[in-house]
Structure 1
Amino acid sequence: MSMKQEKTTAAIGRPREFDTDEALNRAMHVFWRKGYLGTSLSDLTEAMGINRPSLYAAFGNKESLFRKALDRYTNGPSAYVYEALKEPTARRVVERIMQGVVDLGTDSRNPPGCLWVHSTLSCGDPADPMAQELSAYRASIEASLCKRFEQAISEGDLPVDSDPAALARFVLTVNCGMSVLAATGANREELLQVVETALRSWPQ
């Protein structure tokens, strides 16, 4: 049995084998499509092809599985965000991130939009622990962008009077908006028009 496979016990006591990597990918797509609160355990077990005891044995509870799925999403489909920070100019950073949002949000192989955005919007209570974790996830991306724009100012790539924190929030706001548009049917051409408009306002 490969290291990717887990052997768990089905409800009737018969061993069940499944590929945990594939099961996690399927769970990620369910959360991506329905958001955290909109996803039920039945949705997950059906998509993953396992029963509840197997899910609990391999991934813990729903919250634990979601954290693993979000980590998979961050380091997989949306890895372009942190890769973009390596671009030589701030404008190229922003352009690559926004292009990544368009590419990911309109790829027919994926659910439309963004897993993080869908899940954040579904967690209406700010006091909810998962809502707080999702907020912290946003804050970490915002902080990384802010730091990159501070670097751009120090290198003369952005005007000295630029506000790096405001620019970081601007980029996130446009990206979240495009993700919502993609989830509600906006096509690639329409989203690229948003990117073009946003880049026109970028500091020279």
Structure 2
Amino acid sequence: MPRGRKRAFNRDAALDTAMELFWRQGYASTSIADLTAAMGINPPSLYAAFGNKRALLEEALELYAGERAHYLIEALAEPTARLAVRRFLIGTAEAATLPDRPAGCLTVQGGLACAEEDREVVALLAAHRGRTRQALLERFEKAVADGDLSEDTDCRALALCVVAAAQGLNVEAASGTSRDELLAAAKLAAAVVPGL
């Protein structure tokens, strides 16, 4: 490498670092200076690689969703709605307490304490959470069609209930609740779904 020429940074590693920073500190509390210091780049390099802070968050959310997708996919494939909810909530508790990641959930913690000018960020995070709710809603509607859940099941309310339980598990994880306690709570929460 010629003298004076800067080494190119690893974009994937930088994105992973940004994701963790947004996860730990939230969007509003994470400054460009925080990001560039953690990522080991200067502001012009950040803007050239990612556009701006909001665009960087959007990419970080896609990376995060990709990391978390496996347990939702596994849950949706379970043969009954109750087993699907159980797998989803257990997966939530496990993912919220990984030793090499921040505790909790980026889509919950990332938007806490946002100012009025960051309402779009709050909406973006809510939309990401909404994907999970929609996937669960569709799974419950299938369960009704298959006769696994009764015809009078309020699938929307059930999906909201399960997502609220998952968000609660993430908040508890971020507050320091142990994995064992979260797993016990996840199993108990799954009992709201009829069956088994």
Q: Please give the TM-score of this superposition, normalised by the length of structure 1.
A: 0.87
The answer to whether residue 66 in structure 2 is matched with residue 75 in structure 1 is: yes
Whole-angstrom distance in 1 between the partners of 2:142 and 2:69: 23
Cα distance in 2 between the residues matched to 1:135 and 1:50: 30
Match among 136, 143, 153 for residue 145 of structure 1: 136
Greater RCO, 1 or 2 (C-alpha within 8 Å, sep 6+):
2
SS of corresponding position for 1:73: helix
TM-score normalised according to structure 2 size: 0.90
C-alpha separation in 2, matches of 1:61 and 1:203? 46
Match of 1:93 among 67, 71, 84: 84
1:169 is matched with which residue?
A: 160
Q: What is the rounded CA distance, in whole Å, between the counterparts of 1:84 and 1:67 in structure 2? A: 25
Q: Distance in 1 between the 2:109 and 2:71 partners?
A: 19
Question: In structure 2, what is the Cα distance between the partners aligned to 1:190 and 1:196?
Answer: 10
1:105 and 2:96 are equivalent in the alignment = yes
Other-structure match for 1:66: 57
Alignment RMSD: 1.8
Relative to structure 1, is the Cα distance of residues 116 and 17 closer, same or farther in structure 2, using a 3 angstrom cutoff?
same
For 2:113 and 2:82, the matched residues in 1 are separated by 32
* Structure-2 residue corresponding to 1:193: 184
Q: Distance in 2 between the 1:124 and 1:197 partners?
A: 36
Contact 1:98 1:195 in 2 (8 A): yes
Unaligned runs of 5+ in 2: none
User: 1:136 aligned to 2:127?
Assistant: yes
Deviation at 1:127, TM superposition (A): 7.5
Amino acid corresponding to residue 75 of structure 2 in structure 1: A
- Opposite residue 182 of structure 2, the aligned amino acid is L
- Cα distance in structure 1, aligned partners of 2:136 and 2:118: 26
Alpha-carbon separation, structure 2, partners of 1:38 and 1:191: 27
1:86-130 Cα deviation digits (max 9, x unpaired): 222212221111111111111111101000010132336497111
> How far did 1:193 drift?
2.0
Identity in percent: 45
Q: Would you tell me which structure has more helix in proportion to its own residues?
A: 2
Amino acid at match of 1:132: A
Mapped partners of 1:57, 1:47: distance in 2:
17
Query: In terms of mean alpha carbon deviation, does 119-128 or 52-61 score higher?
Result: 119-128
Q: Is the 8 A contact 1:31 1:115 kept in 2?
A: yes
Q: How far apart are residue 56 of structure 1 and its match?
A: 0.6
How many residue pairs are counted as aligned between the two chains? 192
Q: What is the aligned partner in structure 2 of residue 56 from structure 1?
A: 47
Q: CA deviation at 1:35?
A: 1.4
Over 3 Å counting, the alpha-carbon distance change for 1:35 and 1:83 in structure 2 is farther
CA deviation after TM superposition for structure 1 residue 196, in Å: 2.2
Q: Is the 8 A contact 2:104 2:170 kept in 1?
A: yes
State the distance in 2 between where 1:63 and 1:146 align. Answer: 29
Q: After the TM superposition, which segments of 4 or more aligned residues of structure 1 sit over 6 Å from their partners? A: none
Over 3 Å counting, the alpha-carbon distance change for 1:94 and 1:49 in structure 2 is same
In 1, distance between residues paired with 2:10 and 2:117?
35
**Partners of 2:81 and 2:193 within 8 A in 1:** no
